[in-house]
Amino acid sequence: MPRELTPYRSRLVEQNLQRIIGEMAGHRPSSAFLAGAPIWLLHGKTFRDTDKAYKTSLGYEFRPDQVIEFEGQDQGKVLRVLELKLAAKAEPLALAEALHHAYAIGTPGFLAGANGEVAETRAVLMTQFNTWLRASLGKLMAIVGEPASHKIRDAIMLLEHTWYEHEGRPLVWFEAPFAQHTPCAEAPTECAGAWSTAADLHHDEFDTWWRVEETQSWMVTKANFPLLDPFHTAEYAIVSRITDAREATNQWAIWKGSVRGGKAVVSPGP
């Protein structure tokens, strides 16, 4: 039977997140469960020691929170430049910092002593739900319009994290609201069992499935859902695979609600 998730209570969420990301990128045992984690976080690796500053040709230094190297099947090597922020006043700064760091690392000649080709970079904003960031990215996508909005998605990933208690450990649940959402003809077989088990949560009111690209999540909505709206006032559901470090479990996290709040449960798979 599904079990309701309760919030994780800690004053050290930011430090814990930095440690967990470092554990994953360094391929060390993780101290937390993850839900909906991006593929590059599960299988990427640390690009460079985060204690070492990057020196620019303009004479100043900077330190990204983390740079993760990952080479996928459909693309070459990409460096994800992560900026981890917490608290409403600090989180909007993540957009400028991550874009600056991604530009500096990915632009030939900008770093002092850099030679030859540089890898493609992508800015990753790892924050909790923040209206300023959602509105900013929503405005950028509205300016360029479709189909050019994919250029914003390719350059910037907003990766929101919510914390719950699960089996005596923290569970970090990631949501990528601006990632590419690909429609599915029906409920994916791998999570259909967990979805049906949690029928009391959704009451079969949602009938449209979307694959959230680059992650281990699906979004479930009603027909004609305003997918590009950065603030979903209409209800929807998220179904995410739970992993223990890099290993998939037979459990799924399911959340139903809107930007105003919702309910989360853990549901077993088939």
How is the chain split into domains, by residue range? 3-268
Residues 6 or more apart in contact with residue 180 via CB below 8 angstroms: 150, 153, 212, 213, 214
Mean pLDDT, the chain, integer: 89
pLDDT for 74: 67
Q: What gap in Å lies between CA 253 and CA 241, rounded to an integer?
A: 6
Q: Among 135, 172, 181, which Cα is nearest to 33's?
A: 172
Taking 60 as the threshold, does the pLDDT of residue 52 lie above it?
yes
Q: Which residue has the higher pLDDT, 73 or 189?
A: 189
What are the tens digits of pLDDT across the range 68-93?
999 876 667 899 999 998 887 899 99
Tokens 């922020």 sit at which residue?
85
- Give the separation between CA 215 and CA 178, rounded to whole angstroms: 12
Angstrom distance (rounded) from CA 64 to CA 54: 8
Band of pLDDT at residue 56, cut at 50, 70 and 90: very high
Contact 79, 67 (CB under 8 A): yes
pLDDT of residue 114: 65
Per-residue pLDDT tens for 85-125? Answer: 888 789 999 999 999 999 999 998 899 876 556 789 999 99
